[in-house]
Chains A and B, each alone.
Chain A
């Protein structure tokens, strides 16, 4: 299969990349790791005139913790997120997502920023990051702005990014020792998109009560979504089987799955309930380790 012809530039700096994006507008498409974009081009689902390869711009691949939280460069590969001890120890649900995503070859090239900008409804990263109060830092010619993950996904393959902007960094508030998270994914095989994916990040107080929780769902609508009603049920409740069963049931009701090759809507809804309950249990076990 061959993509329709396009031109290619590889800016050496962010300033150069932003200049090209401003001049070319929607004619251009940003190439990060290419693991979503190249298949899309080969299938001719998109036919940009120009690819702007940001793969050699220095300083876009990093994982570091600051006082206020975790910062991940947009060009950080899935593989490196999966290998990070910092991520595994304190932001474990991101390790879960990194390990369940794609396959080894995809994880070696694909990037977290590319995956987010692609905005697949089954996006593992989109779902995982919805479980945190994530900010996405984007830069344009006018400067830098932060977009809340809650406002980032507009529709399938559509985000709040303007054509002239570049996603450069992902910021996650600092996880406390009493926080825990998990991302659980049901997939038919390695490399397939999620049939069902549930991300849970919760914080417990000293009595074992849920102080705060966010739940993300993959492949349950046009974009990754939050199970807000399930979150509301949990806050202030004792972390345990009764509250979890109730919340999982509500999460399944909130989900809007479509019947497709990966299963009927009814099956997926039933699996959301199972996976939400298990993710809540695992997140709780990990909290306060």
Chain B
């Protein structure tokens, strides 16, 4: 195995069936949820409709825009292009996890400071895509930042301020700072 995706930790048995649905266990923002879902339910609909966490947005619903990006086992994924049953046993992080007690995450502070958002619709997805990058590289090059958010579309501000914000957040998150 050359991969380190933590799959071994995940449940390998098939989810139990119940009334045509499947019982899944998904940890979202540290809280474990056990729910029965139809196999066709998308992860984004599970998060929004079932768990009522509406910070994750549906943009295009066709896998193009990245607004629905969440982290699954630490990796950015489009929750409109993943089934909830596929997330059985996974740890999911949504935008709600970033400011648990109303205290903004450095990425959120930086987006505010550097005008990295206008309407804000794409922002949760962009922030989570950026978070995946900053978790492994807190002094990324501009090119690395642009690659990391290349699956996310913003239709308001353009990307210059978003890139600045992510870079500034990296500075804030570097050990020894704050």
Residue B116 interfacial (CB < 8 Å) = no
- State A237–B43 Cα separation when bound (angstroms): 54
Besides A35-B63, A62-B3, 5 more A-B contacts (Cβ < 8 Å) are A6-B39, A10-B13, A61-B5, A84-B2, A105-B76
Q: Mark B83-111, 1 if CB is under 8 A from A, else 0.
A: 10110100000000000000000000000
Residue A53 interfacial (CB < 8 Å) = yes
Residue B118 interfacial (CB < 8 Å) = no
Residue A161 interfacial (CB < 8 Å) = no
- B62 near A8 (CB under 8 angstroms)? no
Stretch at the interface among A36-44, A89-97, A142-150, A172-180: A36-44
- A39 near B63 (CB under 8 angstroms)? yes
Residue A34 interfacial (CB < 8 Å) = yes
Contacts of A80 in B (CB 8 A): 2-3, 5
CB distance from A246 to the nearest CB of B (A): 35
Tell me the residues in window 3-26 of chain B with beta carbons closer than 8 Å to chain A beta carbons.
3, 5, 7, 10-15, 22
Residue A194 interfacial (CB < 8 Å) = no
Residue B82 interfacial (CB < 8 Å) = yes
Pick 14 A–B contacts, CB within 8 A, sort by A.
A2-B42, A8-B22, A8-B39, A38-B81, A39-B62, A42-B42, A51-B83, A61-B5, A62-B1, A62-B2, A77-B5, A80-B3, A102-B151, A106-B81
Q: Which residues of B contact A (CB under 8 A)?
A: 1-3, 5, 7, 10-15, 22, 38-40, 42, 61-64, 66, 69, 75-78, 81-83, 85-86, 88, 129, 132, 147-148, 150-151
CB distance from B137 to the nearest CB of A (A): 13
- B13 near A35 (CB under 8 angstroms)? no
- State A61–B10 Cα separation when bound (angstroms): 15
Contacts of A242 in B (CB 8 A): none
Q: Of all chain B residues, which has the CB nearest A51? A: B39
Q: Mark A33-73, 1 if CB is under 8 A from B, else 0.
A: 01100110111000000010101101001111000000000
A-B residue pairs, 9 tightest by C-beta: A103-B151, A8-B39, A190-B150, A10-B14, A108-B75, A3-B40, A105-B151, A56-B12, A105-B78
Contacts A2-B40, A51-B39 known; A58 to B82 CB distance under 8 Å? Answer: no
